[in-house]
Structure formats: C-alpha cells, structure tokens
Structure 1
C-alpha cells in the first residue's frame, strides 16, 4: 500500500529549440505531455499496475517557460477511489544556473488503473503516514476548492 510520499515524483526537462513556439517559450502541448507522463508514473507507483489518463481537470498556464530554462514537473497521488487515482500536477520554470523557481502550470489529472485486458481494476487504499503526506494531500485538496 503506497503512501502519498511514495508516489511523489519530480522530473526535469530542459527547454530546447525543438520544444518552443514562435515566442521562444515551451509549447503548452509539450508541458501537458510531460505532466501526463509523470502523472501516470505517480499513479502506477500507487496502483502497481498500468494506469491510463481518464480526465484532465482545469489546466492553468500561469506563465511561460523560456527556451534554455528547465521545466520541473511535480506529481503525486493525493486520493484514490475504487479504480481511479487523483494526481496533483504542477510545473515550474527553473533557471539552470541559480535554481530559482517559479510555478507556471497547475492541474489535477485522474487516471484509471487497468488490467491486461484494459479493464478497470481495483487499486489499494492510499495511506497518509507522515506530516509531509498530510501537507501534500491537504495542499491538493485545498487547491480543488
């Protein structure tokens, strides 16, 4: 049984020329793709099986990520249902030389655990074992309100 902290993943992508739009900033579609991939990893870490994207709740692009900077994706499971898994996702722009960070994107994704026939399958209960788990879960739930 996974805890909230067990599902926490942070990944980085350096924004390269092939990743940008006409304005020299990361394509929103690339950021969504990276969020979806990392979110699925968090969901699978909890479910211990394949998970597929079922829904993307509101997606807020607050500021761009310029070419040459790093896009940091933060992901963790904050709630689990029978076969569904709710994942909090945030993206940040990070200056590679100073590690100065600023949030750029915020969203909640819902994944569904599936078996070999791609049919929904039950997931274990999510545990909240530490102060860190409680803070992460509370932060995600507060953001939904």
Structure 2
C-alpha cells in the first residue's frame, strides 16, 4: 500500500522563448506535456510500475504563464482501481523573484500501470494516513465530479 502523500510531486519548468507562442506566453501543448510528465511520475511512484496516460479529463487554461516566469506543476494520486491510477495535476505560474504563484491550469489524468509486456498490471491500494492527505483526496474527488 502507498500513502497519498508519498505520491505528491512538484516540479518547475522555466518558460523560455522556445516554449512560447505568438503572445509570448507558454504554449498550451508545452504546459500539457509538463503536466503529463509530472502526473506520470506521481502515478509511477504510487504503482511501482511504468504508467502510461489513458485519459485526460477536461483541461481549462485559466490564465497564461508569461515567457520568463516559471511553470510550477504539482500532482498526486487521489484514487486507484485495479490497474488504473487517478492523478490530480495543477499548473501555476510562479515569479521566482517575488515567490508569487497563481493557478493557471488544472486537470485530472488517468494512468494505467503496465508490465514489461506492456499489459495492464495491478496497482496497490491507496492509503490516506494524514489530515492533509484526506483533504487533498476529498478536494480531488469533489472536483473530478464537476465541482471545479
């Protein structure tokens, strides 16, 4: 069994000109890629297996991340099935000089754990042992059902 808090992963990507679009903000495809990578790391940390993206829930780009700022991505597993892993993933823009963060994008991905033959393989049971973990799981379950 793996605890929710053990799956929590954060990463940062500096938004450089080659990541930008014509408006000098992060291209949405790059933000999705970064979210997918961090989400997969969280799923793999949970499953102890290679995990591949199976589904991406609605993805809303609420505000841009300007070139020169940092994309701050965090993810955690909030639910699991037999071989599937549900991960909540959020992106924020971060000004490293002021430490100011503002949420820009949020989504819920489903990953599937696969074995060496690339076939679905079982994942462990998710445990939630802390109050913070319980709050994070509850928030994700509520938001996944349309409250976001």
- Say yes or no: TM over 0.5: yes
Task: Classify the TM-score, shorter chain.
Answer: over 0.9
1:35-50 matched pairs, under 5 angstroms? 35-50=35-50
Structure 1 position 107 matched with structure 2 position 107: yes
The one-character-per-residue Cα deviations of 1:50-93 (angstroms, maximum 9, x if unpaired) are: 00000001101000000010100010000000000000000000
TM-score relative to the length of structure 2:
0.97
Query: Could you report, residue by residue, the CA deviation over 1:89-121 in whole angstroms, capped at 9, with x for unpaired residues?
Result: 000001110110100001000000000000000
- Counterpart Cα distance in 1 of 2:35 and 2:110: 12
Aligned residue in 2 for 1:69: 69
**After TM superposition, which residue ranges in structure 1, 4 or more long, deviate above 6 angstroms?**
none
Once the two structures are superposed, residues 29-68 of structure 1 have per-residue CA deviations (whole angstroms, 9 ceiling, x without a partner) of 0000000000000000000010000000110100000001
RMSD: 0.6
1:25 deviation in Å? 0.1
Q: How many residues align?
A: 145
Structure 1 unpaired stretches of 5+: none
TM-score w.r.t. the length of structure 1 is: 0.99
